Amino acid sequence: MAQSYSARSRAIEPFHVMALLARANELQAAGHDVIHLEIGEPDFTTAEPIVRAGQAALGAGHTRYTAARGLPQLREAIARFYADRYRLSIDPERILITPGGSGALLLATSLLVDPGKHWLLADPGYPCNRHFLRLVEGAAQLVPVGPEVRYQLTSELVERFWSADSVGALVASPANPTGTLLERDELAALSQSLKQRGGHLVVDEIYHGLTYGCEAASVLEVDDEAFVLNSFSKYFGMTGWRLGWLVAPPAAVGELEKLAQNLYISAPSMAQHAALACFEPETRAILEQRRGEFAARRDYLLAALRELGFRIAVEPQGAFYLYADISAFGGDAFAFCRHFLETEHVAFTPGIDFGRYQADQHVRFAYTQSLPRLQQAVERIARGLKSWRPDAL
């Protein structure tokens, strides 16, 4: 008997890269040396002070539920972090601790989007954003963006694409897959444009801290009513601990807390106690050293790929991705990725995972491997370009 599943489930697309990852794992199991540049997870393990704090929390029996909004001492630590990094005074009561940045996105979409309504999203962009909107019976209005606007939404684009069903916009700075930032004045212009239309501004700041030669501005510097999504996964290196946070306007906190109580009860207790160590000087020194390593990786891979003929029109300022145009080589992105995986055992992500606009002529490289491994990858890619035959597919 055929299963009858929900329309929303059927509408949510899988990650195309997962098919490539499964094949990469098969090749690896067969003894091949695969260089993984496809998944947005750094090669660094969680910093030792955070691990020690997590172990101590387990030893002390911190294994029970916390309050839905999270540990008060962690919310206070995050508030101090905003004061230190951005010179902002954020009331800890406005901060909700969530199961990863995804938990923060779930709260924001559940609160702000009614069925049939939509947010404006940059295309290309992180695919889960549009899928979360579908999950709450909303929709994503994908706005095609290219290098001329650094792959970011602008106030002019909001004006052009806003419709009667629009209720807000979600932007990311730094962005996945492009690594580009929104400057403070651009955030202010977006905020003003949305307020004029009665819309909400939601900003993904998950890659804050991972910027190179500059610091990212927080939207809260220009709009105290914006919703901010953040995570302990990227800069703080706690991917598997599943911990994030949401900063919300004071008036929204009660509704968000109610949603949190019902959707997930609370974020992982042990992870919350471990995360208290993120803000200690010893940990910050480790994280800043890692940021320096990411900067060196970006500088190397950006120059090397351009030398090979990949078009990277905008230098990424943050995150750990390069979004590269492959149109000079011909063929489609998925086949291109598959070729390099099968022939050279280098895995990277096809642009079709990130949207619709010119997706088939782009790929994403994650510089989440050591510099020697990136050098090996470039050597293999150079060799693989010589055997690439798009017309043979």
Question: pLDDT tens digits for the chain (393 residues)?
Answer: 447 899 999 888 887 888 888 899 999 999 999 999 998 888 999 999 999 999 999 999 999 999 999 999 999 999 999 999 999 999 999 999 999 999 999 999 999 999 999 999 999 999 999 999 999 999 999 999 999 999 999 999 999 999 999 999 999 999 999 999 999 999 999 999 999 999 999 999 999 999 999 999 999 999 999 999 999 999 999 999 999 999 999 999 999 999 999 999 999 999 999 999 999 999 999 999 999 999 999 999 999 999 999 999 999 999 999 999 999 999 999 999 999 999 999 999 999 999 999 999 999 999 999 999 999 999 999 999 999 998 755
**In CATH, which of 3.60.15.10, 3.40.50.2300, 3.40.640.10, 3.40.50.720 is domain 48-279?**
3.40.640.10
Residue 1's pLDDT is: 44
* Domain 7-45+283-386 shares a fold with domain 48-279: no
Count the alpha carbons within 13 Å of 302 in the hemisphere toward its beta carbon. Answer: 18
Residue 392's pLDDT is: 58
Distance (Å, whole) CA 331 – CA 258: 49
Domain boundaries, the chain: 7-45+283-386, 48-279
To which residue do tokens 């501004």 refer?
A: 201
Distance (Å, whole) CA 183 – CA 334: 33
As a CATH number, domain 7-45+283-386 is: 3.90.1150.10
pTM (2 d.p.):
0.95
Quick one: angle between helices 253-263 and 100-112, nearest 10? Answer: 120
Q: Which two tokens stand for residue 248?
A: 């919300």
Burial of 145 (0-12, 13-18, 19+ CB in 10 A): buried
221 close to 88: Cβ distance less than 8 angstroms: yes
Residue 4's pLDDT is: 85
Residue 13's pLDDT is: 83
Contacts of 344 (CB under 8 A, 6+ apart): 380, 381, 383, 384
